[in-house]
Amino acid sequence: MADFSIEVDRELCIGSGVCIAYAGGTFDHDLEGKAIVRSPSSDALDTIRSAVEGCPMGALRLNES
């Protein structure tokens, strides 16, 4: 699997859970209802990409190397 990292902008995240619906092996809610990133992720990179693109707030950034 390619190396990647994911950033969550907690100021933008509204806890919609869309990212978790797309990629539950990568994202979860913390106690504040904000998205957090599981490590290691069990999702394929394409799945993660869909989750990042599906965030209604643009709160996720995928950095691929």
Cβ-count burial of 24 within 10 angstroms (0-12 exposed, 13-18 middle, 19+ buried)? middle
Query: Judged by CB under 6 A, which of 19, 23, 36, 48 binds ligand SF4?
Result: 19
Token code pair at residue 3: 């190396």
CA distance 49 to 6: 10
Q: Is 24 near ligand SF4 (CB under 6 A)?
A: no
Supply the minimum distance, in Å, between the C-beta of residue 7 and ligand SF4.
Answer: 10
Site size toward ligand SF4 (CB under 6 A) is 15
Contact residues toward ligand SF4 (CB under 6 A) are 8, 13-19, 27, 35, 55-57, 59-60
